[in-house]
């Protein structure tokens, strides 16, 4: 059995998964029979790329005796199907919890660390303590249980799919609420992602309290700089707006044409490709301290990495 190479956060920075034997972060392997004996929580996030609103995360412990038909990556489901599945997940799961990190936390910690914080809150909020947390992608927060990162897990692991659905439906509902409070930006339409309409509205009306000041288009609007070219922003590898465009898949906008690749490209970038880590004194509370992260290897979609 082979293990995938990836990255996981610890108290000191980033650990390489699947490294040489004896290396810090070396991974033990779990076979399917072992997995069936464990209480497993699926974990996923929603809203990492938008220019506005909190980032959400959910953790779900499914009941193996009550499988849910139709679970899939929330991004490919129709809204009505997502809403119906969210109700079923809440009613049939052994445990579930939805958490978030605020716009203020995103701006102070950066979006990656805020996402890790939301995931940690989701797992810690469960009424059942899991043996294992299966997390979509190749990064994980520090948790008091074993961690397994699964690239593409929101499409292949039912518990992660369920978490993806809960996180997205909860965040979408929050953006609809924000639209009622700030109707100029169309939050109910694009859910905070950087569509052409959103960026134009941002420059016309100025940022509101729900906008992420650490994201380039919002920061540029605050500084009175000319409205950014959407294609240029989307092509910037490390730009949060570009990642948002790649993940949103918005149609009929300049941003759509300038997308920097598939959703996984933004999720699975090396740690160094994310915004600079915050002050270690702040980050160490819930996230890894600032440190030079090594370059991440190219992920292999068909295998998983397990951290003990």
What pLDDT sits at residue 17? Answer: 54
- H/E segment holding residue 17: strand 13-17
**Model confidence at 79: pLDDT above 80:** yes
Tell me, yes or no, whether 272 lies in a domain: no
pLDDT band (50, 70, 90) for residue 179: very high
Structure tokens at 306: 């397990």
State how far the Cα of 200 lies from the Cα of 113, in Å rounded to an integer: 28
d(CA 232, CA 287): 31
CB 4 within 8 A of CB 300: yes
> Is the model more confident about 283 or about 77?
77
- Rounded average pLDDT over 189-194: 95
d(CA 115, CA 234): 21
Number of domains in the chain: 2
Reading the block at residue 129, the tokens are: 């303590």
In a domain? residue 1: no
Residues 165 and 17 in one domain: yes
Domain CATH code at residue 55: 3.30.420.10
User: Is 223 annotated as belonging to a binding site?
Assistant: no
Decide if 271 is inside a domain: no
**Residues 122, 65 share a domain:** yes
User: Residue 142 has what pLDDT?
Assistant: 86
User: Quick check: is 107 in a domain?
Assistant: yes
Give CA–CA dist 210/197, Å, rounded: 16
In-domain check, residue 207: yes
Mean pLDDT of 142-159: 90
Residues in the chain: 308
Judged by average pLDDT, the poorest of 70-74, 106-110, 175-179, 264-268 is: 264-268
Residues 262 and 290 occupy one common structural domain:
no
130 and 20 co-located in one domain? yes
Residue-wise DSSP of 97-133: EEEEE-HHHHHHH-HHHHHHHHHHHHHHT-SS--SEE
Q: For residues 190 and 283, state if they share a domain.
A: no
Does some domain include residue 245? yes
pLDDT of residue 69: 96
pLDDT in tens, 231-254: 655 544 334 333 333 333 333 333
Q: What are phi and psi of 95, to 5 degrees?
A: -160, 150
181 a known binding residue? no
Q: Is 44 labeled as ligand-binding? A: yes
pLDDT value at 296 more than 60: no
107/143 same-domain check: yes
Mean pLDDT value of segment 71-75: 91
Verify that 85 and 45 share a domain, yes or no: yes
In terms of pLDDT, which residue wins out, 244 or 14? 14
Same domain, 127 and 155: yes
Position with higher pLDDT, 238 vs 38: 38
Comparing CA positions, the residue from 102, 262, 107, 89 lying closest to residue 169 is 89
Pair 255, 204 in one domain? yes
Residue 282: domain span: 6-175+277-307
Helices (H) and strands (E) in the chain, counts: 14, 8
> Do 171 and 188 belong to one domain?
no
Say yes or no to pLDDT of 38 above 50: yes
What pLDDT, on the 0 to 100 scale, is given for residue 139?
A: 87
Q: Is the pLDDT of residue 297 over 80?
A: no
Give which of 123, 118, 149 is closest to 59, Cα–Cα.
123
Q: Are residues 101 and 140 in the same domain?
A: yes
164/75 same-domain check: yes
């Amino acid at each position: 059995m082979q293990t995938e190479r990836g990255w996981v956060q610890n108290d000191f920075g980033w650990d390489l998964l699947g490294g040489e034997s004896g290396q810090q972060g070396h991974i033990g392997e779990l076979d399917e029979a072992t997995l069936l004996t464990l209480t497993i929580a699926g974990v996923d996030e929603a809203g990492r790329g938008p220019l506005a609103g909190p980032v959400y995360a959910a953790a779900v412990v499914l009941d193996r005796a009550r499988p849910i038909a139709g679970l899939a990556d929330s991004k490919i489901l129709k809204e009505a199907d997502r809403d119906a599945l969210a109700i079923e997940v809440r009613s049939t799961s052994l445990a579930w919890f939805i958490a978030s990190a605020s716009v203020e936390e995103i701006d102070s910690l950066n979006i990656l660390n805020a996402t890790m914080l939301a995931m940690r809150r989701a797992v810690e909020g469960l009424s059942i303590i899991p043996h294992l947390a299966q997390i979509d992608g190749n990064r994980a927060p520090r948790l008091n249980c074993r961690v397994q990162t699964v690239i593409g897990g929101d499409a292949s692991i039912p518990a992660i799919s369920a978490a993806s659905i809960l996180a997205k439906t909860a965040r979408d509902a929050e953006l609809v609420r924000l639209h009622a409070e700030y109707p100029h930006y169309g939050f109910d339409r694009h859910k905070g992602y950087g569509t052409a309409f959103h960026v134009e509205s941002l420059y016309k009306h100025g940022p509101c309290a729900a906008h992420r000041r650490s994201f380039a288009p919002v920061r540029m609007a605050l500084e009175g700089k000319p409205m950014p070219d959407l294609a240029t922003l989307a092509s910037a590898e490390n730009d949060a707006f570009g990642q948002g465009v790649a993940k949103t898949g918005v149609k009929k906008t300049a941003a759509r044409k300038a997308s920097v690749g598939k959703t996984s490209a933004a999720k699975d970038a090396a740690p160094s490709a994310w915004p600079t880590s915050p002050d270690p004194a702040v980050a160490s509370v819930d996230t890894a301290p600032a440190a030079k992260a090594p370059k991440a290897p190219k992920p292999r979609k068909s295998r998983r990495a397990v951290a003990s």
